[in-house]
Amino acid sequence: MSKSTERLNRLFDRLERRIPALAANWLSRVRRPEARWVRIPLGILLVLGGIFSFLPVLGIWMLPLGLLLLAVDLIFLQGPVNMAILRGSRKWTSWQRARRDKKKQQGQGDRGA
């Protein structure tokens, strides 16, 4: 197993711990090797749905999810998807910290007045 495959599996495991149980169960079933015949067409459909996100019902959220599913089987996507996930999670964490710090500062300012 390559280094990027191991990293992708760790990222999937972390994602499964963070999402609701129903979605985590679905994701673990789709990640199984025998689900490849479902995973690839679903990934392609999600990418296409993300590309056409200007249409009603479809959304840009479909694009990263489709790429994530395709990266399980397409080795050349694993590196870029891994890096995108790591960067996105770092930005998300720093945004949450900044938001939390801002709320703390506002709360302290209210008490001092």
User: How do residues 33-83 score in pLDDT, each as one tens digit?
Assistant: 899 999 999 999 999 998 888 878 788 888 888 998 999 999 999 999 989
Report the candidate in 107, 112, 111, 19 with the shortest Cα–Cα distance to residue 68: 19
pTM for the full predicted model: 0.73
Q: Residue 90 pLDDT more than 60?
A: yes
* Cα–Cα distance measured from residue 94 to residue 9, given in angstroms and rounded to the nearest whole number: 23
CA dihedral 92, 19, 60, 48 (to 10 degrees): 140
Lookup result for tokens 């998807």? 81
